[in-house]
Amino acid sequence: MVSFVEAYFAPKKDIPRRVYLSVSTLVGVLGLAFWCVLAYGGLVRPDFLPTPVAVAKAAIAGAEDGSLFVNTYVSVSEIMTGFVLATVLAVPLGILMGSFKIVEAGIEPVTNFVRYLPVSALIPLLILWVGIDMWEKVAVIFIGTFFQQLILIADVSRSVSHDLLDVSYTLGANRRTVVTRVLIPATMPGVMDTLRVTLGWAWTYLVVAELVAANKGLGYFILNSMRGLYTDQIFLGIMVIGLLGLIADQLFKFGRNWLLPWATNL
């Protein structure tokens, strides 16, 4: 036992891959077991906590009538649209904002104001302006992620080493070259990390938007299930969101290592 602690509890030390996977699996299995005990043991009412089998059945039913796919597809396309629009604007603008004081002076005060407005508070206004279709969700996601991305990417751009830019000048680069060939590539790992984090936030805003007003989507699916006390479906909806988040995160991780092999690996 002592040797186990000795070997695997040293701060920041790597552990064997096998041990890593075993621990991950074990915790997953324990969580599932805990759930089973609560549900099958009758410790919690079934309309409060569905059994794992009930959730699986709900998934099969949802797959058979297609509702699960439709709702997932709607949510994913809303999130992708809003997130891509926000990213396309926030990345260039954030890089400029972090490196050009004049851009910062123009944008930062407004951004910091909007950034602290809870997006959920804007939903009624957005419903009034945009309606309750897909574009309202897109607008919520856009506002929720764009301003956060802007500030985070500006910080990434600001922290690019001055010496890196200076050495480029001494190698004969002009300002334009320094921006396109040095500043922008230097920000890429930080930009990827920012996107990865803000995509998680985008999911939160989407579900909030769908809970308020929607007739499709995973948030709507969850809310609608609550009305009929279909707890199994609520669980299903939540799990699908979690799973999609996990997949997106892994994609980002692999994408970063693949696109930026020169950066420190995640």
Q: Which residues bind to other proteins, rule: CB under 8 A? A: 161, 163-164, 166-173, 177, 181-182, 185-186, 188, 260-264
Q: Which residue has the tokens 């856009």?
A: 142
Question: Hey, what's the torsion of the CAs at 121, 127, 132, 136, to 10 degrees?
Answer: -70
Q: Least distance in Å: CB of 15 to other proteins?
A: 23
- Nearest Cα neighbor of 54 from 26, 217, 45 is 45
With 0-12 / 13-18 / 19 or more C-beta atoms within 10 angstroms meaning exposed / middle / buried, residue 209 is: buried
Q: Least distance in Å: CB of 56 to other proteins?
A: 45
Q: In the complex with other proteins, which residue's Cβ is closer, 75 or 157? A: 157
Q: Least distance in Å: CB of 188 to other proteins?
A: 7
Helix (H) or strand (E) holding 47: none
Q: In the complex with other proteins, which residue's Cβ is closer, 85 or 184? A: 184
Residues 6+ away with beta carbon under 8 Å from 149: 86, 87, 90, 91, 94, 194, 195, 198
Q: In the complex with other proteins, which residue's Cβ is closer, 89 or 173? A: 173
Q: Least distance in Å: CB of 161 to other proteins?
A: 7
Q: In the complex with other proteins, which residue's Cβ is closer, 138 or 192? A: 192
